[in-house]
């Protein structure tokens, strides 16, 4: 996404609640061998759902948030703002033993900020795009940089015309 805006409708990847749950559980399976972890840090807001699923699956009770804002106007990525960091007692030793969970690493802006704050933590995402991929230790699915992912919390049930009608 050269201009950091939503691409045309030909490059979209809608994810249902069921698919996201399956992918988040698959992430937990991969992470189970990488642990044990002393706590999970969910990157808000998108990382909250997979962080809760992974915490449940791995039996982790300490769940913290790293609050950032990078998307403004929903589809336009702007300047990164760190709204809340991790509690100092969890951030000690650079976050050693912590698991950072996010829904997606896109350009890597958010991932870089979180990894700089917690350099010894394990960073995991459900989805990864090529620009941010080198920051991630564990992920499930790689998607192209010019694909826009619609997460289940972004969607509503609505009529969609058949493909043949759209392409005319």
pLDDT score of 79: 82
Which of 3, 4, 23, 106 is catalytic? The answer is 106
pLDDT score of 168: 58
Degrees to nearest 5, angle at CA 104 with 137 and 6: 145
Residue 166 included in any domain: no
Catalytic residue flag (residue 3)? no
Which of 3, 103, 146, 156 is catalytic? The answer is 103
Task: Tell me the mean pLDDT in the region 7-35.
Answer: 90
Cα(7)–Cα(163) distance, integer angstroms: 18
Task: Tell me the mean pLDDT in the region 5-27.
Answer: 84
Domain count, the chain: 1
Bridge partner list, 12: 148
**131: domain range?**
12-157
pLDDT score of 9: 47
Residue 52 included in any domain: yes
CATH of the domain at 16: 3.40.50.2020
CB atoms within 10 A of CB 3: 8
Residues 47-74: pLDDT tens digits?
999 999 999 999 999 999 999 987 655 5
Catalytic residue flag (residue 106)? yes
Which of 102, 146, 154, 156 is catalytic? The answer is 102
pLDDT score of 73: 55
Residues 71-122: pLDDT tens digits?
655 555 668 889 999 999 999 999 999 999 999 999 999 999 999 999 999 9
Catalytic residue flag (residue 23)? no
């Amino acid at each position: 996404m050269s201009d950091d805006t939503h691409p045309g409708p030909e490059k979209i990847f809608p994810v249902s609640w069921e698919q996201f749950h399956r992918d988040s559980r698959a992430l937990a399976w991969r992470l189970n061998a990488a642990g044990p972890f002393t706590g999970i840090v969910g990157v808000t807001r998108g990382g909250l759902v997979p962080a809760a699923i992974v915490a449940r699956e791995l039996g982790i009770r300490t769940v913290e948030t790293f609050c950032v804002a990078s998307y403004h106007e929903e589809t336009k990525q702007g300047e990164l703002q760190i709204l809340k960091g991790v509690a100092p007692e969890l951030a000690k030793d650079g976050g050693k033993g912590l698991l950072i969970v996010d829904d997606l690493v896109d350009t890597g802006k958010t991932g870089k900020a979180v990894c700089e704050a917690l350099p010894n933590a394990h960073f995991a995402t459900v989805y990864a795009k090529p620009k941010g991929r080198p920051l991630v230790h564990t992920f499930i699915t790689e998607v192209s940089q010019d694909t826009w992912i619609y997460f289940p919390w972004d969607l509503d049930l609505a009529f969609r015309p058949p493909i043949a009608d759209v392409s005319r």
